[in-house]
Amino acid sequence: MAPLKKEKTSVQKGKTAKKDKKPVLRKDKKPVVKKARQNAARQADDKVRELQADENLDRLEGRNPVLEALRSGRSINRILVSKGEKEGSIKHIIALAKQKHIVIQEVDRSRLDAMSETRAHQGIIAFAAAKDYVSVDDILKAAADSGRPPFIVILDEITDPNNLGSILRTSNAAGVHGVIIPKRRAIGLTSAVSKASAGAIEYVPVARVTNLVQTIEYLKKQNIWVVGTDAAADRPYFDHDLTGGIALVIGSEGEGMSRLVREACDFTVSIPMAGEISSLNAAVAGAVVLYEIVRQREERNRLSK
């Protein structure tokens, strides 16, 4: 009987033979996982397009507007963050959004650039429930609840979103109870206004009215003095007692207050201009007079103690 021949193996000296692994499962799994990821990404993109088309949602752009919307408790549907943006305030926003179980989606920065309305998104855009306007009576109630004399701002034909945003920001800082704007020939609460306000839009009640003159007459009946800012006024703002209930009217930068609104005011005040430039923009002019009102009220409170 012939001796059995030893089979040759390819195992080298010092190495242990390994059982052959079947790569079939691993090779088959990769396309499945890849396809699932592609489907998920496609669904996420479809959702973003759906949100963009929804007219009932506000688009918040920039870190401060999104952060303040989260802090104020505003309902947010989804937050888009530029890939790689996870430091600084973005990190804080993401953490806060996760606590509130809000969907966070990473997208290419070019995608944010394409959908941005302000061109200053800072790597983040959120889709939130539309900001609700309030009524004039809501503003009056807020004033009554505060225990302080009514402090209201009326804007006449302000069309620049930066001006409106800045005025909202100053109004919040100065303790204004609410801002009143007209429905026509004026900017509303847009994403650009939200951006310019640095998030103050979340905290300042805004009423939108059909007729400013009628609204002014209504405020007068509530014992509120209506004061207009006008470069042609005879007396400067600091020559008037502004400690009572005040509604300050700020006109557009180009034209100022309309004739009918000016005539409806109890009185008008000017801001002295010592240089060659004859006027300030609406937001700056408003800030000057608003803080004179704050100063006078603080002074009165100090003296009464």
Q: Where in the chain is the domain with CATH 3.40.1280.10?
A: 136-304
Which CATH architecture fits 136-304? 3-Layer(aba) Sandwich (3.40)
Judged against a pLDDT cut of 60, whether residue 18 lies above it is answered with no
Q: Where in the chain is the domain with CATH 3.30.1330.30?
A: 47-129
Asked whether the beta carbons of 167 and 97 are under 8 A apart, the reply is no
Amino acid at position 52, single letter: Q
Its CATH class, for the domain covering 47-129, is alpha beta
pLDDT for 305 equals 77
Query: Among 204, 148, 150, 203, which Cα is nearest to 181's?
Result: 204
pLDDT for 119 equals 84
Q: Name the 3-class secondary structure at 291.
A: helix
Query: Among 267, 218, 246, 201, which Cα is nearest to 67's?
Result: 201
This prediction has a pTM of 0.81
- CA-to-CA separations, 276 to 26, 53, 270, 280, 299, in angstroms, rounded: 78, 48, 16, 12, 32
pLDDT for 55 equals 64
As a whole number, mean pLDDT of residues 83-92 equals 84
Confidence of residue 11 (pLDDT cuts 50, 70, 90): very low
- CA-to-CA separations, 97 to 79, 84, 92, 197, 238, in angstroms, rounded: 8, 17, 9, 21, 45
